[in-house]
Amino acid sequence: MDLPIKRVARTAWRGDDFSNGDRAVPEETAVAFTYNGASHAVMMATPQDLEDFAYGFSITEGIVSSVGEIEQLDIVDTEFGIELRMWLTEPRQAALRARQRRLAGPTGCGLCGIESLSEACRPPPVVPAGQRFTPRDIMRAMDSIGGSQTLNRETRAMHGAAFWEPCRGLVAVREDVGRHNALDKIGGALARGHVAGRSGMILLTSRVSVEMAQKTATIGVPVIVAVSAPTALAVRTAEYAGITLVAIARGDGFEIFTHPHRIAKETIAHVA
């Protein structure tokens, strides 16, 4: 499969002079989510891992609760972008129709298909207890994600999300121009692979916003580790959901913002 990358001409200014050349940049396209023939949302995204995107977005946005509630998925290239056409089982069809009838209007990135401010700040599900990790686990996990980001290595313009387990290392890595999209793709990959989220941690190469905390809770992963800082609302959401939120994870350490009991200094024996 060809990577969604294009080389474009550019002029660089370095060393007190101009030089001509080219640079690899990521593709970005409109991706439409339709359910039973009705349009639900359009996201700008990297056209890769679209099956994972379809399933993951549907789960994290509450359209379905499991992959089995999507009876069929067709990925259709169109003149203007890509359509992810899904057909849902009953009663999910009826629930979505009722939800769509209540919609007041369009919303922004990460808040698709909602009807009110209260729903935008909806309480997330509480995650399972999960397991404990050592600081060394966190450092190993974050060290592993950089070399696995194929698209970012070529373009330096991609967000990454990954799922890591102590016994298996990186289970899945997904990239996208949108950080929410990358996390949705990870959610889809875990759901399609029937991977239990409680056994590992989500890794993010971006900041942690409230949507990222909400989506992680819905996926069912009890630990988030990110290279950048969280927002205050993300911290409150992680606290409510029982998520251990670790951020500013760099080469010299990290900071724990919520539920620190899952990060223990002593040696932990991991069970496969």
Mark whether 167 is an active-site residue. Answer: no
Phi, psi of 105, rounded to the nearest 5 degrees = 170, 180
- Dihedral sign (CA 188, 170, 248, 197): positive
Q: Give me 246's structure tokens.
A: 């670790």
**Using alpha carbons only, how large is the chain's radius of gyration in Å?**
19
What CA–CA distance (Å, rounded) separates 90 from 70?
Answer: 10
Q: Residue 268, exposed/middle/buried by CB under 10 A (0-12, 13-18, 19+)? A: middle
Q: Pick the catalytic residue: 109, 112, 121, 167? A: 109
Catalytic residues: 109
